[in-house]
């Protein structure tokens, strides 16, 4: 059975499912003659709860750092809030009831009042209040909160996990968190990232579908899930319950690769990507969105060599505005902290269609209306994107590149548009930097005229994914043709060599950003040919660095 969620901490994990058991304490209403005795019980329970939160704070400080631990300081402040304390005392006195009941009614009153307000922050606070005062009830009822110990790796699933619950847990064998709660700013999200435990949020964990397709629904986390084997994919958001042997095999390999990466990270983090004879290669990451930046940095990328900006244009009703794009590009550039960011303008079309651009029926979409062809036709959209990129350039180290180039004329047309955009921004008083301009070499035409193109631009980036499909006449999305899709084909290697030579003869730098660059067998050739930079998926960075550092 496959469930889906949103990843808030990437990574893979495999283990048995354990359902988090809140075991909330039931509260009964009892009449008590001695109100003062109940008030004293209540006040000493508050004091005890504060002590426990102090302990949690100190534990969190060690586990997740001071910023995240601050949540517990806020909880202590809640325990000191006179509005709550007075309300509980009032109920105990006026109704002559036990302290537990006074606390329970107070929580209900306040949290139902707060949760009606249309403010996410206050709603979150309402949850915190419930959590903190449930603790007080637990102490009053002499409840113990011994955390469950796990003897083997488990993926913990819950409706929601509060910070206190997470910190109290013995996390030695917890390899993943899966919750149905949906906010990326939720505590589960923040703490799982700090603990570096893969986590998914927004997963519908209330149903269970057995192998025969029978569905059982539940109001809490489906109890049938307990103890089942599962795989959490913190990159794609998949949560596989009772995975097939094939899925298990695939993920075992991925986990192995990830583990190797982590080991490499310890050894290679901060090291240069340099051959033994001293040739340095810049090693960048391919990214598709803001979230990938974190993975790129975690894997020690020296920058982002290909940001596929079209992902910002997909799965929506209209193109993103200049402002939205500017903010996104600026955020990504700033998160890279001065490292280079190469933004590729939207490569829409072929397998990346968007609903608001009608390309019409195409017999051969991959050979069709895509990339720069669309941009040069839809001038407004193109200029908007360039304005956004140039405005963001002021805040980072941005270069721009263009996809699907086949002629010098296209490049000349682009450069004219860039000049117009820059002029417009200057007149409007926007600051910007002079970005380096590059093009993708991903059609045989571009490779064959790379001597001419190199005179026009600052850099090339060889896109072997498309270069292979166009050179070898193999649709890259057609599974039946996989055996013909061979980026190591001599025809591809020759074009790469030729492109590098032509670039260097014309003072143009050249990188590669197709998938083949993460194949360590090919890396040696690329370095021999004189490649200047290599951009790969974030998780392949360190493997490539290791391979390069072993070259003569
Ligand atoms: C390529 O074609 O090699 C490339 C990197 O671009 P994309 O995969 O986005 O087409
Ligand atoms: Mg391409």
For ligand 1, say whether the CB of 465 is within 6 Å of any of its atoms.
Answer: yes
**pLDDT computed for residue 511 by the predictor:** 98
**pLDDT computed for residue 63 by the predictor:** 76
Report the C-alpha gap between 114 and 124 in whole angstroms: 9
Of ligand 1's listed atoms, the one at least distance from the Cα of 310 is: 9
Using CA positions, which residue lies closest to atom 4 of ligand 1? 463
Of ligand 1's listed atoms, the one at least distance from the Cα of 514 is: 3
Half-sphere exposure of 327 (CA within 13 A, CB side): 4
Domains in the chain: ranges and CATH: 2-21+148-263 (3.50.30.10), 35-140 (1.10.274.10), 269-549 (3.20.20.60)
**pLDDT computed for residue 23 by the predictor:** 57
C-alpha of residue 368 to centroid of ligand 2, in Å: 13
* Helix (H/G/I), strand (E/B), else coil: 119: coil
**pLDDT computed for residue 186 by the predictor:** 63
- CA nearest neighbour of 492 among 511, 473, 464: 464
Q: Which residues surround ligand 2, an ion (CB under 5 A)?
A: 442, 463, 466
Question: In a mutational test of the pocket of ligand 1, which residue from 367, 402, 465, 515 has the highest number of ligand atoms less than 8 Å from its CB?
Answer: 465
Question: In a mutational test of the pocket of ligand 1, which residue from 292, 346, 347 has the highest number of ligand atoms less than 8 Å from its CB?
Answer: 347
Contact in structure between 530 and 504 (CB atoms under 8 Å) = yes
Catalytically active residues are: 187, 513
How many residues appear in the chain? 552
- CA nearest neighbour of 321 among 367, 379, 384: 384
Report the C-alpha gap between 161 and 177 in whole angstroms: 9
**DSSP category for residue 396:** S
User: Which ranges of the chain have pLDDT less than 70?
Assistant: 22-26, 115, 143-148, 163-164, 168, 182-187, 194
Using CA positions, which residue lies closest to atom 1 of ligand 1? 463
Contact in structure between 373 and 406 (CB atoms under 8 Å) = no
C-alpha of residue 462 to centroid of ligand 1, in Å: 9
């Amino acid at each position: 059975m496959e469930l889906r969620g949103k990843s808030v901490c990437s990574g893979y994990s495999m283990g048995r499912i354990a359902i988090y058991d809140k075991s909330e304490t039931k509260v009964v209403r009892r009449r008590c003659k001695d109100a003062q005795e109940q008030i004293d019980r209540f006040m000493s329970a508050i004091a005890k709860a504060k002590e426990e939160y102090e302990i949690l704070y100190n534990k969190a400080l060690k586990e997740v750092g001071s910023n995240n631990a601050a949540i517990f300081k806020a909880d202590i402040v809640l325990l000191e809030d006179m509005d709550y304390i007075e309300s509980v005392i009032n109920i105990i006195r006026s109704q002559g009831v036990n302290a537990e009941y006074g606390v329970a009614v107070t929580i209900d009153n306040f949290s139902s009042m707060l949760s009606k307000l249309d403010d996410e922050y206050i709603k979150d606070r309402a949850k915190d209040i419930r959590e903190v005062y449930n603790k007080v009830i637990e102490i009053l009822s002499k409840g113990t909160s011994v955390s469950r110990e796990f003897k083997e790796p488990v993926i913990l699933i819950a409706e929601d996990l509060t910070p206190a619950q997470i910190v109290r847990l013995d996390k030695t064998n917890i390899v993943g968190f899966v919750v149905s709660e949906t906010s990326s700013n939720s505590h589960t999200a923040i703490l799982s990232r700090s603990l570096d435990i893969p986590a998914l949020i927004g997963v519908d964990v209330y149903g269970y579908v057995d192998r025969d397709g029978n569905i059982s629904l539940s109001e809490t986390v489906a109890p049938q899930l307990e103890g089942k084997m599962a795989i959490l994919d913190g990159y794609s958001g998949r949560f596989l319950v009772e995975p097939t042997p094939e899925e298990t095999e695939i993920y075992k390999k991925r986990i192995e690769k990830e583990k190797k990466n982590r080991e490499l990270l310890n050894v290679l983090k901060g090291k240069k990507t340099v051959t033994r004879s001293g040739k340095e290669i810049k090693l960048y990451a391919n990214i598709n969105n803001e979230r990938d930046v974190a993975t790129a940095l975690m894997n020690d990328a020296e920058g982002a060599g290909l940001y596929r900006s079209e992902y910002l244009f997909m799965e929506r009703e209209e193109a993103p505005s200049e402002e939205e794009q500017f903010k996104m590009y600026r955020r990504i550039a700033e998160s890279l902290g001065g490292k280079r960011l190469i933004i590729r303008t939207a490569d829409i079309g072929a397998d990346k269609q968007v609903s608001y651009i009608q390309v019409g029926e195409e017999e051969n979409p991959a050979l069709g209306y895509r990339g720069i062809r669309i941009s040069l036709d839809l001038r407004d959209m193109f200029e908007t994107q360039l304005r956004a990129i140039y405005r963001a350039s002021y805040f980072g180290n941005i270069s721009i590149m263009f996809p699907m180039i086949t002629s010098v004329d296209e490049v000349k047309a682009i450069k004219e548009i860039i000049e117009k955009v820059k002029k417009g921004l200057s007149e409007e008083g926007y600051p910007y930097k002079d970005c380096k301009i590059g093009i993708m070499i991903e059609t045989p035409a571009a490779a064959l005229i790379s001597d001419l193109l190199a005179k026009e631009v600052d850099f090339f980036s060889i896109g072997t994914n498309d270069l292979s499909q166009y050179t070898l006449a193999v649709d890259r999305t057609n599974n039946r043709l996989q055996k013909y899709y061979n980026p190591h084909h001599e025809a591809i290697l020759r074009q790469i060599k030729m492109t590098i030579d032509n670039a260097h003869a014309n003072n143009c730098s050249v990188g590669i950003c197709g998938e083949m660059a993460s194949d360590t067998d090919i890396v040696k050739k690329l370095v021999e040919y004189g490649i200047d930079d290599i951009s790969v998926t974030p998780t392949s960075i360190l493997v490539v660095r290791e391979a390069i550092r072993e070259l003569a």
